[in-house]
Amino acid sequence: MDAGGEGYRLILEGMGFALRGEALPALGEVSLPVAAVQMLPDDGTISPEDDPLAGEWGYCTQFVIVAHDGADLSVEKVRDDLQVLAESTMVVGGDGFVRIHGHTEDPGSLLTRAVQFGRVQRISIEDMDAQAERWRMAAGRVGGGTEVRSSGEPPDLDAPLADVAIIAIAPGEGFASVFRGLGVSEVVFGGQTMNPSAQEILDAARRAHARTVIVLPNNGNVVLTAKQTSAVAADTLGGDRRILVVGSRTVPQGIGAMMAMTFGADPEAIVSAMTGALTSVRTVEVTRAIRDVSINEIDVRVGDVLGLVDDEVVAAGTEIDEVAARSLELAGARTAELVTIYRGADVSGSDASRFSEAVQTRFPNLAVESMTGGQPHYDFIISVE
């Protein structure tokens, strides 16, 4: 079952009819994809005509509809109207805010129909045909393009080098999982007060086993160390291997860079796309003061909640919700589309949920997502996009 969750949607829809005491509408034939089980030849390759990833997949189209001021936005009406235009359709939401996911050959028709319900925001259109091609390349099924080594089993160091691999510095296991899910080959743990050494980054580059290793420092203190490894990569790793550095200074910037990565492009183009994405992300950090200090004309007392925007202290106080709200305001949350809240290692799930609800209440037009970051020292790290 794919991310559209077609079977699950049908179950919930049937439950809804039962709870309302309504008769089920007549259903035509429901066609669901069946996973292909296939034995590969000894060389690990299969022919294009036998490849389950081959064929036409269309576009994974996702967006949000926000109701016009004072208008009613019915999730059921949106679902009924749009599901005929796409497969694997998922429509969820409420209170004037609806999120849509669907697979279609014509994203334009889906968006055109959606506009009649409200303002369409946070549009994401992914070419699934190209995505399937990347997966086939990553599995070694086809040749051509730039091979990118993703996370998974440790590489065979006697095998040929991949073209490109990515290393990310992460301050917690939650962030590490996010990076691995985005295709990072190696994660080096580090951050504030625990900066990794150049040797640790070089060791990770060796394990990444690629001609070009791209490093995401994700911390201002680690950028210089990463650049030092770049200067000695050829001598240390041998051959024509090299290390390129993208100057991400916060973890959300690093995640944004990975989202912008162009699989199959040459290394310089990948670095250029990643670097260009850094300015589209603002980072808010919420932590606690460990001493009395005056920063940026803000008087801070030990134990106060501190709010930082892109590493600059911008707010302090005793109430975490207020400090975070002021920091988010200064980070441009009023005009942003999405904030993602990563909770720290010492924050409980219930506290994180309450905090996310407070942010959503303060910024009702924002899409608010909450994830586990696992970082020490910082209650929350927040990405503003």
What pLDDT score does 321 carry?
Answer: 97
What pLDDT score does 133 carry?
Answer: 58
Are 316 and 323 in contact, with CB atoms under 8 Å apart? yes
Report angle CA 301, 305, 306 to the nearest 5 degrees: 90
**Could you give all domains of the chain from N- to C-terminal order, each with its CATH number?**
6-129 (3.30.70), 145-279 (3.40.50.510), 282-384 (3.30.1180)
What pLDDT score does 94 carry?
Answer: 66
CA–CA separation, 371 and 369 (whole Å): 7
Of the candidates 158, 273, 146, the residue with the CA atom closest to the CA atom of residue 138:
146
pLDDT per residue, tens digit, the chain (385 aa), is 345 566 777 788 888 878 887 777 665 554 444 444 444 444 444 454 544 445 566 888 888 888 887 678 888 888 888 888 988 777 877 667 788 888 888 888 898 899 999 888 878 787 776 655 554 544 443 333 455 555 545 566 677 888 999 999 999 999 998 898 888 999 999 877 788 999 999 999 999 989 999 999 999 999 999 999 988 888 888 878 999 999 999 999 999 999 888 777 899 999 999 999 999 999 999 999 999 999 989 999 999 999 999 999 999 999 999 999 999 999 999 999 899 999 999 999 999 999 999 999 999 988 898 899 999 999 999 999 9
